[in-house]
Amino acid sequence: MAEMDAVKLMKQAVGRSAAAEVQSDSIIGLGTGSTTAFAIQFLGDRLASGDLKNIKGVPTSFQASVLAKKYGIPLVTLDEIDHIDIAIDGADEVDPKFNLIKGGGAAHTREKIVDSLAEKFIVVVDSSKLVDPLGSTFPLPVEVLPMAVSPVTRALETLGATVELRMGVNKDGPVITDQGNMVLDAKFDAITDPAGLEKNLNNIPGVLENGLFVGVASDVLVGEVKDGEASVRSL
Ligand code: 5RP
């Protein structure tokens, strides 16, 4: 089996498992990324079949809004609700304490708002995302106001990171977030104090939010493939 097919199978399996945990009459945080996209699709399937009734979604990005509309999931804003029952979202890295790096899709600011509000936050990943410590494989995304890109880059370098302004794919120039900001990808050798770093980074003037999610996730579902068969385990 081609490597890409295996990854897709893992993402599909874990997306389906997370969608199966949602109950009728729920308000659901809808995450961003290719794994969550499968969960949104399976939620839509359950709604269409009548297995699930009266759900509402809170999108974490334009991507999540577009997918929710495509699959018939009614959307609400945070102004219209007073709680979120469950959120489903992907991650770029997960450590053994369920701390995360997110923001591979530049959506971590809205994701952190929505995922943090959820009574239960299920992380959906394939097995390649499990690391110890955080920072082992993925740079840490930092959303920055455009006028502050240079000073924030210098501040991140002082903290020991190698920093790159994220550039668009099929779009010339930098990635612009759903809020109109830019993203600096900060590669640290290892993030040994995620809680401390999360706070320090958000104290740099010009930083809107960083992709460290500390103590937010309640469950992690991991998709795996063996001999062409996909399976899901709960950490
Ligand atoms: C978007 C995210 C995604 O959840 C994260 O990048 C994982 O994406 P994928 O499921 O496509 O691997 O944080 O900002």
Q: Which residues line ligand 1 (CB under 6 A)?
A: 31-36, 89-92, 102-108, 111
Radius of gyration of the chain from its Cα atoms, rounded to whole angstroms: 18
What is the Cα–Cα distance from 177 to 155, expressed in whole angstroms? Answer: 21
| Structural domains present in the chain | 2-131+215-234 (3.40.50.1360), 140-204 (3.30.70.260)
At 123, which helix (H) or strand (E)? strand 118-126
Give me the torsion for CA of 83, 85, 90, 96, rounded to 10°. Answer: 100
143 is a catalytic site residue: no
The 10s digit of each residue's pLDDT in 44-78 is 999 999 999 999 999 999 999 999 999 999 999 99
Tell me the pLDDT band of 2, cut-offs 50, 70 and 90.
low
Residue nearest to atom 1 of ligand 1 (CA): 105
Distances (CA, A) of 57 to 35, 60, 66, 90, 172: 17, 9, 12, 16, 32
User: Hunting for tokens 């990943």 — which residue is that?
Assistant: 125
The 10s digit of each residue's pLDDT in 107-152 is 999 999 999 999 999 999 999 999 999 999 999 999 999 999 999 9
The 10s digit of each residue's pLDDT in 15-39 is 999 999 999 999 999 999 999 999 9
